[in-house]
């Protein structure tokens, strides 16, 4: 069996990036995720794999460096926390509009504003509904363990390149800061220039050989008909992602009469809540969306007929609950429990809130 | 003797650069953008680096530069071109990477990206078209707009109390350790055009020498924004802009 190493979620992101053959990381320090760049700088991957690591002057610059690198067909990434992601939203919509693959990691902290450095899931809307302008989507993966942090880096890059779309790992301060054992996966070498050309020459800016037309990376189309057609193409892509890339997990849902929906660190806490309910003879189950976009609509929908209630549990004022309500469509009561501002609830208080809700 | 007896290779004294496309430029008559595009194309052709050059176009009138130069291009968000170029060059050190930016793009919304790319000494070329106005959005005040200059947002002329002072960003960039070549040129007559072309060539050559950032400002005209016809615009530029933005090399190492 592969060696297991004890580390923080943020450190796992850094090691996963090096080990999956990432070409570049561009970032700006912000708590609670600064360990990502610190670990990369300590490991000096430019000497081993040739990966570029650069501290940018701002998150605005980092995300635009990501754009520059991604447009060259490179596997490039950045990481930040909520206020930094707000600054990156301009870049994210340009990346989506130019159909560029890249990885962005958000280790969420409490907001709004400068907020707190304590954990939160308050950026669910920003991650899944936009943040930047225009009709675009990010592929959003929500890790619940340090192993997920490691594994999702490679998975997010694979999805990003498959669909030529930015992918986001939406973690929270708990997952970023806590230490767990991680199994390192087999290393992937960085692609050679030749391999990048084979994979990306039809669209990336690799230098124009005489044998092809010039490649232009842009999100600009002044003609409204052209722009609408491009938007339709994008929506088709997002529909494909919804059809093919939903990831989720369930806990004791087979016979469940009540369901909790929770992602990230909250899904782990809610497993305890399920066990507490079961000890008291209440058939509670848990569904954890692993991809927040695409959201596991069909999977929740399939459970609705057997359910008497659904409760969404989040570290915010109630954001994902709106997506759950859309699926439930009034067929079953949908409740919500959440704490805000960096407070993480314990299983007892969630269980109490659940009992109150189903009474 | 008919015309085909005259059109022979040995008689050719001038031709369109092969790096320029056949697309009709959207620039207003008299605009400096077109001339500078031509010079960049000629330099790329003469250096034989068409397959090794990646351009970054800005948001501004030259947003469509990618329609005119037959190379791979990236279109940046407003002001962010130097950040894109930073990553392109670092990830592809064997490529020639340049940005092409207006004054609003480079010296207002993108000041931070410009300063820091230059300060890191990125081995890129920055071509800066200073026409002292926002051409694309209809002639509003730019950071480089002169005191007293009338624009759509300074209808009574730029006033220091209200709008602050015109920004000599090129002088600032010359102070930075990271820049190796900083020059201010213009393209209003053949001699100036030739000098600007030499400056662009030097800047491109520098980018493989690991010396730092090369920065070429071109003091330019914007006939539509200034609301002055081309010949008068050149005169206005010489009389009003050159005293405040004096031409010449500020740094060459
Ligand atoms: C974030 C953002 N803000 C504002 C604009 C609108 N805008 C487009 S071009 C421009 C100014 C361009 O002026 P300059 O860089 O001097 O280029 P010129 O057209 O004069 O060549 C502005 C403000 C934009 N596209 N994006
Ligand atoms: S508006 Fe000004 S900068 Fe733009 S094309 Fe016309 S003359 Fe050139
Ligand atoms: Mg301008």
Q: Which CATH number fits domain A249-358: 3.40.1370.10, 3.40.50.2000, 3.40.50.920, 3.30.160.150?
A: 3.40.50.920
Tell the residue number behind the tokens 């200059």, with chain if given: B149
Is the Cβ pair B87, A98 closer than 8 Å?
A: no
Domain boundaries, given as residue ranges, for chain A: 4-193, 249-358
pLDDT band at A317 (very low <50, low <70, confident <90, very high): very high
Q: Which residues pair with A24 in a beta bridge?
A: A52, A76
* pLDDT surpassing 70 at residue A233: yes
| Angle, CA A50 vertex, CA A38 and CA A27 arms, to 5° | 35
Q: Is B27 in the pocket of ligand 1 (CB under 6 A)?
A: no
- Give the C-alpha separation, B125 to B123, whole Å: 7
Q: What is the pLDDT of residue B2?
A: 86
* pLDDT surpassing 70 at residue B79: yes
Q: Which CATH number fits domain B27-131+143-252: 3.40.350.10, 3.40.50.2300, 3.40.50.12780, 3.40.50.970?
A: 3.40.50.970
- Mean pLDDT computed over A101-121: 96
List the residue whose alpha carbon is closest to atom 2 of ligand 1: B78
Is the Cβ pair B50, A208 closer than 8 Å?
A: yes
For B32, B36, B211, B248, the CA distances from B196, given in Å and listed in that order, are 12, 8, 20, 10
Answer yes or no: is the ipTM higher than 0.90: yes
Is the Cβ pair A68, B63 closer than 8 Å?
A: no
Domain boundaries, given as residue ranges, for chain B: 27-131+143-252
Tell the residue number behind the tokens 């363990």, with chain if given: A145
Q: What is the pLDDT of residue A1?
A: 59
Q: Is the peptide bond before A8 cis (omega within 30 degrees of 0)?
A: no
- Mean pLDDT computed over A209-221: 96
Following CA atoms B140, B146, B150, B151 in sequence, which dihedral angle do they give, to the nearest 10 degrees?
0
- Do A80 and A105 touch, CB atoms closer than 8 A? yes
Q: Which residues pair with B129 in a beta bridge?
A: B102, B218
CA B231 distance to own-chain centroid = 20
Q: Is the peptide bond before A294 cis (omega within 30 degrees of 0)?
A: yes
Nearest CA in chain A to B116: A57
B114 Cα to chain A: minimum distance (Å): 10
pLDDT band at B4 (very low <50, low <70, confident <90, very high): confident
Q: What is the CATH number of domain A4-193?
A: 3.40.50.970
The backbone torsions φ and ψ at residue A276, rounded to the nearest 5 degrees and listed phi first, read: -60, -45
- Give the C-alpha separation, B143 to B153, whole Å: 12
Region label for A73, one of left (φ > 0), alpha (ψ between -120 and 50) or beta (otherwise): left
Q: pTM of this prediction?
A: 0.97
- Do B61 and B136 touch, CB atoms closer than 8 A? yes
> If we measure between CA atoms, which residue out of B70, B56, B147 comes closest to residue B102?
B56
> If we measure between CA atoms, which residue out of A140, A207, A186, A245 comes closest to residue A21?
A186
In tens, the pLDDT along B168-199 reads: 999 999 999 999 999 999 999 999 999 999 99
Tell the residue number behind the tokens 């950045």, with chain if given: A78
Q: Is B110 in the pocket of ligand 2 (CB under 6 A)?
A: no
> If we measure between CA atoms, which residue out of A277, A350, A355 comes closest to residue A314?
A350
- Give the C-alpha separation, A273 to A258, whole Å: 12
Q: What is the pLDDT of residue B93?
A: 98
The helix/strand count (H/E) of chain B reads as 11, 7
In tens, the pLDDT along A162-199 reads: 999 999 999 999 999 999 999 999 999 999 999 999 99
List the residue whose alpha carbon is closest to atom 24 of ligand 1: B78
Structure tokens at A309: 């209630």
In tens, the pLDDT along A275-308 reads: 999 999 999 999 999 999 999 999 999 999 999 9
Q: How does DSSP assign A127-155, residue by residue?
A: HHH-SSSSS---EEE---SHHHHHHHHHH
Average pLDDT over chain A, rounded to whole?
A: 97
Is the Cβ pair A207, B113 closer than 8 Å?
A: no
For A97, A296, A302, B15, the CA distances from A141, given in Å and listed in that order, are 20, 12, 22, 55
Asked if domains A4-193 and A249-358 share a fold, the reply is: yes
Q: How does DSSP assign A139-206, residue by residue?
A: EEE---SHHHHHHHHHHHHHHHHHHTSEEEEEEEHHHHH-EEEEEPPPP-PPPPHHHHHHHHTTTS-S
């Amino acid at each position: 069996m592969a060696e297991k190493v004890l580390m923080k979620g943020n450190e796992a992101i850094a090691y996963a990036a090096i080990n999956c053959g990432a070409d570049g990381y561009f970032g700006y320090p912000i708590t609670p995720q600064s360990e990502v760049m610190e670990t990369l700088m300590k490991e000096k991957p430019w000497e081993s794999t040739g990966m570029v690591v650069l501290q940018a002057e701002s998150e605005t610059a980092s995300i635009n460096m990501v754009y520059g690198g991604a447009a060259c067909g490179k596997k490039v990434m950045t990481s930040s926390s909520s206020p930094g992601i707000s600054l990156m939203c301009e870049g994210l919509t340009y990346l989506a509009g130019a159909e560029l693959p890249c990885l962005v990691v958000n280790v969420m902290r409490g907001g709004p504003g400068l907020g707190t450095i304590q954990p939160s899931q308050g950026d669910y809307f920003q991650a899944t509904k936009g943040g930047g302008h225009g009709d675009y989507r990010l592929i959003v993966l929500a890790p619940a363990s340090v192993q997920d942090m490691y594994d999702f880096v490679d998975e997010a890059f694979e999805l990003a390149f498959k669909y030529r779309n930015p992918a986001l790992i939406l973690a929270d301060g708990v997952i970023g800061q806590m230490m767990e054992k991680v199994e390192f996966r087999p290393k992937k070498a960085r692609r050679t220039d030749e391999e990048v050309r084979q994979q990306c020459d039809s669209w990336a800016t690799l230098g124009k050989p005489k044998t092809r037309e010039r490649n232009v990376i842009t999100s600009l189309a002044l003609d409204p008909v052209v722009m609408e057609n491009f938007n339709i193409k994008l929506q088709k892509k997002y529909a494909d992602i919804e059809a093919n890339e939903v990831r989720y997990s369930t806990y004791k849902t087979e016979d469940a009469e009540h369901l909790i929906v929770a992602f990230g660190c909250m899904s782990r806490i809610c497993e305890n809540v399920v066990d507490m309910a079961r000890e008291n003879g209440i058939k509670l189950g848990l569904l954890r969306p692993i991809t927040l976009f695409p959201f596991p609509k069909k999977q929740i929908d399939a459970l609705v007929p057997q359910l008497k209630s659904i409760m969404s549990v989040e570290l915010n004022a109630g954001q994902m609950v709106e997506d759950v309500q859309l699926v439930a469509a009034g067929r079953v009561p949908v409740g919500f429990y959440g704490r805000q501002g960096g407070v993480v609830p314990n299983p007892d208080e969630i269980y109490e809130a659940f009992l109150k809700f189903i009474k | 003797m008919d015309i085909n007896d005259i059109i022979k290779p040995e008689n050719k004294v001038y031709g369109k650069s092969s790096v320029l496309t056949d697309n009709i430029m959207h620039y207003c008559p008299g605009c400096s953008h077109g001339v500078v595009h031509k010079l960049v194309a000629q330099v790329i052709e003469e250096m034989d680096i068409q397959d090794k050059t990646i351009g970054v176009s800005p948001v501004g009138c030259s947003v469509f530069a990618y329609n005119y130069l037959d190379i791979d291009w990236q279109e940046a968000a407003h002001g962010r071109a130097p950040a894109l170029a930073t990553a392109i060059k670092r990830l592809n050190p064997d490529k020639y990477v340049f940005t092409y930016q207006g004054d609003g793009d480079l010296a207002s919304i993108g000041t931070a990206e410009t300063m820091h790319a230059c300060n890191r000494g990125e081995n890129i070329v920055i071509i800066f078209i200073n026409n002292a106005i926002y051409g694309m959005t209809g002639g509003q005040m730019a950071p480089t707009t002169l005191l007293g200059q009338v624009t759509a947002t300074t209808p009574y002329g730029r006033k220091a109390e209200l709008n602050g002072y015109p920004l000599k960003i090129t002088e600032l960039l010359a102070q930075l350790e990271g820049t190796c070549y900083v020059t201010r040129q213009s393209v209003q007559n053949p001699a100036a055009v030739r000098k600007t072309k030499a400056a662009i060539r030097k800047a491109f050559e520098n980018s493989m020498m690991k010396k730092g950032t090369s920065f070429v400002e071109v003091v330019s005209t914007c006939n539509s924004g200034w609301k002055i016809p081309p010949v008068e615009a050149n005169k206005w530029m010489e009389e009003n802009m050159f005293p405040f933005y004096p031409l010449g090399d500020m740094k060459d190492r």
